[in-house]
Amino acid sequence: MASISVVVPVYNEDSCLRELHARLTDTLAALTDRHEIVFVDDGSRDNSWTVIAGLAAQDNRVRGLRLSRNFGQHHGITAGLDHCDGDWVVIMDADLQDRPEEIPRLLARAREGYDVVLAQRGRRRHPLPSRLTSWVFARVFSYFTGMVRDEQVGTFRVMSRRVVENLRRMREQLRFLGGMTDWLGFPTAKLPVRHDQRAAGRTSYSLRRRWLLAKSAIVAYSDKPLALTVRLGFFIAGLAFLYGGFVVVRALVHRVAVPGWSSLIVSLYFIGGIIIATLGIVGIYLERTFSETKRRPLYVLKEMVNTAGSAGRDEQQ
Ligand code: UDP
Ligand code: MG
């Protein structure tokens, strides 16, 4: 029977974990005789780690990884993927918005011949502002990258072992699971699922954090901003050229004296602004290149429980 691993990134979710564990074990027991649940504590400030360690003490199928600080959800997931060995790997949120009870359906779909099955949350139970920003982001992301992004798809998914093995070879710092699995190109399906309200606690994605995430996802998957600035440069140069011609003709034909100061100062500020903006765009890419070339580990582990079987994988970081 195929084994199943469930990878759960955890950031300040101490009040959700016990229920999640109970519901997951019920569901998984019906599916397989070999499963593991990998909780990755992404530097929580609450009691999440104590709860994880407690669950691991009762249930040896629970593995706990504790990162040294908050690295971000996708880095947490990376740590989990590096330390799980199921034939099928499920990724889900800890806050019970992704329902463990949907796993059998996702898995059944995957067995029809898909390496990735994405849960599609028909009616997302997030507050309006966060749904709105996701929607805008999905549009902007598709424009810049040419990749279709569905805002109804989150991280909840089932992936085959070969997808996970390939993901593990992708060690870029800018991690954005959606874009990475799309890039791999294995057969992918979507399955509509029910989405629940957060069971307890609150979202860790503020508007500011969502903005930063959106920016890095676009920079990670597109060089279009660079191409656009080149085009903009040529466009402005073209306009200046036309205007120059117009000024010369006017001087020769109509003998108009040098016009005033305003047009000069306006274009000066305009061009100045554009130069600063485009330099900034180049700077952002340069900074990304710089941080990738450092090749730092993607996460740092502080503690582990019940991970004996997956020891020796740390050098993969
Ligand atoms: N998460 C994480 N590290 C972070 C932020 C979030 O591991 O820095 C986890 C969080 O515990 C949850 C999942 O990522 O399991 C999704 O986070 P959240 O529910 O806050 O996002 P939302 O559902 O509001 O988009
Ligand atoms: Mg959530």
CATH number at residue 156: 3.90.550.10
Residue 192 CA to residue 132 CA, distance in Å, equals 20
Q: At which residue do the structure tokens 């994988």 appear?
A: 313
Q: In one letter, which amino acid is 257?
A: A
Q: Could you tell me the distance, in angstroms and rounded to a whole number, from the CA of residue 95 to the centre of ligand 2?
A: 6
From 95, 128, 209, mutation site for ligand 1 pocket: most ligand atoms within 8 A of C-beta: 95
Which ligand has its closest atom nearest to the C-alpha of 20? 1
Digit-by-digit pLDDT tens for the chain (317 residues) are: 899 999 999 999 999 999 999 999 999 999 999 999 999 999 999 999 999 999 999 999 999 999 999 999 999 999 999 999 999 999 999 999 999 999 999 999 999 999 999 999 988 889 898 899 989 988 988 888 888 888 899 999 999 999 999 999 999 998 888 889 999 999 999 999 999 999 889 899 988 998 888 888 888 888 888 888 888 888 988 888 888 888 888 888 887 766 677 778 888 888 888 898 888 888 888 988 998 999 999 999 999 999 875 544 544 45
One domain for residues 271 and 192: no
Q: Which atom of ligand 1 is nearest to the CA of 198?
A: 19
Q: Which atom of ligand 1 is nearest to the CA of 11?
A: 11
Q: Could you tell me the distance, in angstroms and rounded to a whole number, from the CA of residue 10 to the centre of ligand 1?
A: 7
Which ligand has its closest atom nearest to the C-alpha of 46? 1
Q: At which residue do the structure tokens 């593991």 appear?
A: 36
Residue 230's pLDDT is 86
Domains contained in the chain, number: 2
Q: Could you tell me the distance, in angstroms and rounded to a whole number, from the CA of residue 54 to the centre of ligand 2?
A: 23
Residue of minimum CA distance from atom 24 in ligand 1: 203
One domain for residues 235 and 202: no
Residue 14's pLDDT is 94
Residue of minimum CA distance from atom 18 in ligand 1: 203
From 40, 196, 204, 205, mutation site for ligand 1 pocket: most ligand atoms within 8 A of C-beta: 204
Residue 220's pLDDT is 83
With a Cβ cut-off of 6 Å, ligand 1 is lined by 9-11, 13, 42, 70, 72-73, 76, 93-95, 97, 126, 203-205
One domain for residues 78 and 181: yes
User: 25-84 pLDDT, tens per residue?
Assistant: 999 999 999 999 999 999 999 999 999 999 999 999 999 999 999 999 999 999 999 999
With a threshold of 0.75, does the pTM exceed it? yes
Residue 309's pLDDT is 56
* Structural domain contains residue 104: yes
Residue 87's pLDDT is 97
CA angle 56, 59, 61 (to 5 degrees): 85
- Domain with 259 in it: 224-294
One domain for residues 229 and 187: no
Residue of 33, 85, 44, 93 whose CA lies nearest to 53: 44
Residue of minimum CA distance from atom 22 in ligand 1: 203
Residue pair 119/157 in contact (Cβ under 8 Å)? The answer is yes
Q: Which atom of ligand 1 is nearest to the CA of 77?
A: 7
Three-state DSSP string of the chain: CCCEEEEEEECCCCCCHHHHHHHHHHHHHCCCCCEEEEEEECCCCCCHHHHHHHHHHHCCCEEEEEECCCCCHHHHHHHHHHCCCCCEEEECCCCCCECHHHHHHHHHHHHCCCCEEEEEECCCCCCHHHHHHHHHHHHHHHHHHCCCCCCCEEEEEEEEHHHHHHHHCCCCCCCCHHHHHHHHCCCEEEEEECECCCCCCCCCCCHHHHHHHHHHHHHHHCCHHHHHHHHHHHHHHHHHHHHHHHHHHHHHHHCCCCCCCHHHHHHHHHHHHHHHHHHHHHHHHHHHHHHHHCCCCCCCEEEEECCHHHCCCHHHC
Which ligand has its closest atom nearest to the C-alpha of 207? 1
Residue 257's pLDDT is 64
One domain for residues 146 and 282: no
One domain for residues 105 and 131: yes
One domain for residues 271 and 155: no
The contacts of residue 289 (CB under 8 Å, 6+ apart) are none
* Structural domain contains residue 169: yes
* Structural domain contains residue 218: no
Which ligand has its closest atom nearest to the C-alpha of 210? 1
Q: Could you tell me the distance, in angstroms and rounded to a whole number, from the CA of residue 190 to the centre of ligand 2?
A: 19
One domain for residues 150 and 174: yes
